[in-house]
Amino acid sequence: MFVFLIFSVSYSWGQDSFCPNDATQHTITSTFLKEDRTYWVSLPLKYSDSIQYPVIYVFDAEWRFDLIRNIAFDLGANQKIEKSIVVGIPHVDWEKKRGVDLTFSQSRIEYDGEAVDSTWYNASNSGGGLKFFNYLIQELIPDVNTKYSTNDHETLVGHSYGGYFGGYILSMEHPFEVIHCYDPSIWFSDGEVNKRFQESGRSKPVKFHITYQPIPEFHKKKIERFIELMEADETIILTKRFYPDDTHNSLFMDSFYRGILETHRYASKK
C-alpha cells in the first residue's frame, strides 16, 4: 500500500489549495466537470502583450508548479530556452480527483502486474479522463489563450498518472506540439496506452520526452514497450532517458531540466 501511494501522489500536503507567490490564479466553471476549477499562471521575464509566447502546462501543480516555473523562468531569462508562460493545473482533491481526472479506465492490474478487483479501481477514484481532457482542451487552454499572448505552441508535462495521460492522448486529437512524460504509469489497465497507440493510426507530429526508472519490473517493461512503438513512428521526435539509480519521484527535476532543453532550446525550429 505504501508503494502504491508513492506512485499515486508525492506529498500529502498537496490537498491544500493555494496559489504560489508571483503567480496569478484564475477560475473556470467547467461544463464538463460540473464544478469550479482553478489554474495558476507564471509569466516570463519582461512579459509583453506584443510578444507571443509558448505555454507549458503542468499537471500536479501543488507539487510541481513552483519547481517548473522557476527553472523555466531562469532558462528563459538566460536565453537557454524560449521564454514561456507556465500554467499549473492543481487538483480539487488529490486523494480522489487526481486518479479520476488523469486515467481513462478502471484498471484490473497493479503497477507490479498483480491482478486487482473492482474495490481497488472504480468510478470513485479513476476513469474520468475523457471529461478532464475535454475540460483541458475546450475550456482551460482557450481561456489561457484569451487572457494571455500565446503562440499556440503548447507543451504538456505529466508525471506518473500525468505521464500516462500524456501517452494516452497520443491516440486522440490534441493540440500539444510537445509532451513530457516522467516515469509514466503505462502499466495502468495492462498497458492500454500501448494498445491504443498501435491501433490509432495517428499522424500528428509531436516531440515526446520520456524518462523512467527500473522499479518494479512490470512497470519498466510497459514503458520500454511504449518507447519501442514510438521509435517506430516517424511522426514522433523522441528523446528518452533511463534513471537506474533514481526513484519514481526523484527523477522528476532532472527529467524536466534535461527535457525542456531538448524540446524548447532557444530559437528552436518548431
Is 139 part of a structural domain of the chain? yes
**93 is a domain residue:** yes
Residue 188 lies in a domain: yes
| pLDDT tens for the 270 residues of the chain, in order | 333 333 433 333 333 334 455 799 999 999 999 999 999 999 999 999 999 999 999 999 999 999 999 999 999 999 999 999 999 999 888 788 999 999 999 999 999 999 999 999 999 999 999 999 999 999 999 999 999 999 989 999 999 999 999 999 999 999 999 999 999 999 999 999 999 999 987 778 999 999 999 999 999 999 999 999 999 999 999 999 999 999 999 999 999 999 999 998 765 444
Q: CA 67, 144, 165, 203 torsion: positive or negative?
A: negative
In a domain, 165, yes or no: yes
For the chain, give the number of residues: 270
**How many structural domains comprise the chain?**
1
Within a domain: residue 87?
yes
In a domain, 12, yes or no: no
In a domain, 218, yes or no: yes
Q: What gap in Å lies between CA 32 and CA 78, rounded to an integer?
A: 39
Structural domain including 216 reads 20-264
How far is residue 24's CA from residue 42's CA, in Å, rounded to a whole number? 7
- CATH code of 77's domain: 3.40.50.1820
